[in-house]
Amino acid sequence: MSSTLSKIKLPYLLLLPGFLFLFTFFILPIVNLAQTSTQTPIAGGDTGQYEQSLRFANYLNAFTENKEQFGRSFLYAISATILALAIAYPLAYAIAFTAGKYKNLLLVLVIAPFFTSFLLRTVAWKQILGEEGFVVPPLRTLGIIGESTTLTSTSFAVIMGLTYNFLPFMTLPLYASLERIDPRTMEASGDLYANGLTTFRKVTLPLSMPGVVAGTLLTFIPAAGDYVNAAILGNPNTKMIGNVIESRYFKIVDYPTAAALSFTLMAAILILVTLYIRKAGTEELV
């Protein structure tokens, strides 16, 4: 009796410490952030002093003041996600189906750039694409880009940086789902007179959809909230919503607006992600 009882309890005992921790340091902060988002400045108080109220106008103000940055965040994040998918899919495909015994080594190589600090790599891109790097001068000489055109401090550089930084997050789930595909399904498709493209469209791609969905989410979500790439590779006109939240917190000490912006960002991401998962039709994620 007591042993069956402890068997029922065991999973809960295992969960308890971790969930207590997540409750205290993940759920509570989010709830607290929700409270902060409707606070008002104390009349006559110092900067950074706020009192609790239910001022939902914070949301409206935060959104209308930063529409541009919101739009840009999603535009950049979606572009980066599509680019990353275009680069990562063939990469994952090559590793899964043509690498043979080098599979594991190549997988390690996909993760390996991670180990050099991502900030160092982002700064490296800034210098590579900069005026003294090895990309701009030859392109100028060839006349591909004009004398006054620069590659750094542009939307192009920010999107490229985002694509670069989240590429492994796209590649690994894609690889995981491609690797699971039985190659015989593709052979069968070929036996039934499908050409390579049809086989890919009707067999490989549908079977790899869980990987596509997981990879796009793992790329899109962090990319939409990122501000490091925009700060290092961009200019004041390429600021993303992350840059606004960061400066509201640290430079302006406007906690309610920063909190409202954070929530709007999260809500927008959640809505997009839900729509996307519905459309892509996979429920295997969670």
Q: Is 71 in the site for another protein (CB under 8 A)?
A: no
Helix (H), strand (E), coil (C) string for 45-78:
CCCCCEECCCCCHHHHHHHHHCHHHHHHHHHHHH
- Closer Cβ to another protein, 16 or 57, answer by number: 16
Contacts (CB under 8 A) with another protein, residues 114-143: 114-128, 130, 132
User: Which window, 21-29, 149-157, 184-192, 276-284, contacts another protein (CB under 8 A)?
Assistant: 21-29
Q: Is 217 in the site for another protein (CB under 8 A)?
A: yes
Could you tell me where the DSSP H helices lie in 66-202? 67-98, 103-111, 118-128, 136-141, 155-179, 183-191, 196-199
Using CB under 8 A, pick the residue from 62, 80, 88, 136 that binds another protein: 88
**By the 8 A CB rule, do 130 and 191 touch?**
no
- One character per residue 176-205, x = contact with another protein (rule: CB under 8 A): ------------------------------
Contacts (CB under 8 A) with another protein, residues 229-268: 232, 242, 245-246, 249, 255, 258-259, 262-263, 265-266
Helix (H) or strand (E) holding 40: strand 40-41
Using CB under 8 A, pick the residue from 80, 151, 186, 221 that binds another protein: 221
Using CB under 8 A, pick the residue from 45, 71, 113, 183 that binds another protein: 113
- Closer Cβ to another protein, 110 or 143, answer by number: 110
Q: Is 60 in the site for another protein (CB under 8 A)?
A: no
Q: CA-CA distance, 250 to 258, in Å (whole number)?
A: 10
- Closer Cβ to another protein, 203 or 245, answer by number: 245
Q: Is 46 in the site for another protein (CB under 8 A)?
A: no
- Closer Cβ to another protein, 98 or 237, answer by number: 98
Helix (H) or strand (E) holding 234: none
Q: Which residues contact 84 (CB under 8 A, 6 or more apart)?
A: 163, 166, 167, 170, 215, 219
Q: Residue 225 is which amino acid? A: G
Q: Is 15 in the site for another protein (CB under 8 A)?
A: yes
Report, in Å, the least distance between residue 64 CB and another protein.
Answer: 20
Q: Is 108 in the site for another protein (CB under 8 A)?
A: yes
Q: CA-CA distance, 10 to 32, in Å (whole number)?
A: 32
CA dihedral sign of residues 217, 219, 223, 226: positive
Q: What is the DSSP string of 12-32?
A: HHHHHHHHHHHIIIIIHHHHH
Q: CA-CA distance, 127 to 76, in Å (whole number)?
A: 21
User: Which window, 55-63, 111-119, 143-151, 184-192, contacts another protein (CB under 8 A)?
Assistant: 111-119
Using CB under 8 A, pick the residue from 4, 5, 12, 281 that binds another protein: 12
Q: What is the three-class DSSP state of 237?
A: helix
Q: Is 285 in the site for another protein (CB under 8 A)?
A: yes
